[in-house]
Chains A and B, each alone.
Chain A
């Protein structure tokens, strides 16, 4: 396969940045998208040019490090992470546009790499339980209804890749925040701090210059882990409870 790539190049955070077009020849359909970028980078390095910077780590779809907007969709045409997207999803001769996550809360560091520290700070503001845990308790020591455990687990699969923010027309980080609120809110260990958590996390979310949620649903449509949109409704319900009890 021969591919034409339009890639966002930006030398440093303050740099203006622009789209640059590259040709990548002899791409195997079995390559992952990142491997295709590796091929491009080898070519650029041999030519003495600066390779395209992109974030990646596990390359098996579980770390959340990789993530770029491909042809206008976060993580590209398949509902998975960029590293698990394969070139067979494209055709020979395609022109593919690759851009970094775009949000004020995600400043570009270089090329396709953005600083997602804002998500870490949201977690720091309340995405944890502050109970002394000790050794792992017996599995049956604290019974959790199956439905709650499943819902908590579904929400806990969030890998913090930031695709929800990238896809959101409002650049809102609500699905990410809601996933953690739902995860901990469904479990007994999360109850003591449940109301304070949702209030603190939302406050931090807003401070980080993320936009507001208008329930559009683009986030859930691109989430590689399939975090459901209803987690946002759960967050709203918890927040309403916190506001009503005067904890906000």
Chain B
């Protein structure tokens, strides 16, 4: 019963993280020194109270926990939905009574979520650990970004993933707010619009750096 709140709360943590992450990414437009200093500084937050990279590891553990809770809740819900309308009791014809764009967002929550988690693993291997290094590995975070996104298919893979994130958030933010009790008929429209705005902001904000690299604005 508390599962839906776990879903909403873990989702909220992830969205807040995305906003901070996006803010950090946009520092790429400040040039190599700014970006690398920022990346370096992330590892020193809280020193000497915390060990080197201590803050970062706290964030990572919290994020991992949020992802696990989120995925667990999603799996349980998916399983319940499957049992609530078992095979052999499905509709032969089923149409949505809602607008196509909203329907697309809600229908892709589960598979979209799987795509996003696979992307996150690829993304960590690419830009954090640099085990996947198309365009060449580097110790400079700035250099890693530039090396990677100069290749069209790397940027394309990030485009697909960010569109998946955008769709996920379009329904996810509204759904989380609803679950936490914020929805009222009088503000439903506003909540939906806010949800779409956050989704669009995050998608565009994350796509700006890769495309700037691809088109040579950042090099």
* Chain A residues at the B interface, C-beta cutoff of 8 Å: 6, 19, 69, 71-74, 97, 99, 102-105, 167, 169-172, 199, 202-203, 206, 209-218, 221-222, 228-230, 232-234, 236-237, 239-240, 243, 248
Residues 86 to 129 of chain B near chain A (Cβ within 8 Å)? 86, 89-98, 102, 106-107, 109
Across the two chains, which residue of chain B brings its CB closest to A17? B88
Q: Given A230-B183, A237-B181: A97 and B92 within 8 A (CB)?
A: yes
A230 to B83, CA, bound (A): 26
With beta carbons under 8 angstroms apart, the residue of B5, B93, B180, B185 that contacts A72 is B93
A-B contact pairs, 29 of them (CB 8 A): A19-B92, A71-B93, A71-B95, A73-B95, A99-B92, A102-B85, A103-B89, A104-B84, A170-B77, A171-B81, A171-B85, A209-B83, A210-B84, A211-B77, A211-B81, A211-B83, A212-B76, A212-B80, A216-B106, A218-B96, A228-B185, A229-B178, A229-B183, A232-B183, A233-B178, A233-B181, A234-B181, A240-B180, A243-B5
- Cβ–Cβ contact A214 & B175, under 8 A: yes
B86: chain A residues at CB < 8 Å are: 104
- Asked if residues B97 and A104 are in contact (CB atoms below 8 Å), the reply is no
The 3 closest A-B pairs by CB, nearest first: A237-B181, A233-B183, A211-B84
> Counting CB contacts under 8 A, is B64 at the interface?
no
Chain B 168-210 near chain A by CB (<8 Å), digits 1 or 0: 0001001100111111110010000000000000000000000
Q: Which of A6, A171, A203, A213 contacts B4 (CB 8 A)?
A: A213
Report chain B residues within 8 Å CB of A233. Answer: 178-179, 181-184
- How far, in angstroms, from A199 to B89 measured CA to CA in the complex? 29
With A202-B1, A230-B184, A233-B183 as given contacts, are A217 and B98 in contact (CB-CB < 8 Å)? yes
Query: Which chain A positions have C-beta within 8 A of B217?
Result: none
Specify which of A171, A233, A240 lies most central, judged by the most chain B CB atoms within 10 Å of its CB. Answer: A233
A239→B91 contact, CB < 8 A: no
Query: How long is the Cα–Cα vector from A215 to B76 in the complex, in angstroms?
Result: 16
CB distance from B12 to the nearest CB of A (A): 14
Partner of A217, one of B89, B102, B185: B102
Judging by beta carbons under 8 Å apart, are B80 and A211 in contact? yes
Query: A72-B91, A72-B95 are contacts. A243–B179 as well, Cβ < 8 Å?
Result: no
Whether B179 and A99, one on each chain, are in contact in the complex, defined by CB atoms closer than 8 angstroms, is no
Given known A218-B98, A222-B97, contact A170–B178 (CB-CB < 8 A): no
Bound Cα distance A9, B76 (Å): 33
Cα–Cα distance between A69 and B102 once the two chains are bound (Å): 21
Q: Which of B85, B95, B181, B188 contacts A229 (CB 8 A)?
A: B188
Chain A residues near B58: list those with CB within 8 A: none
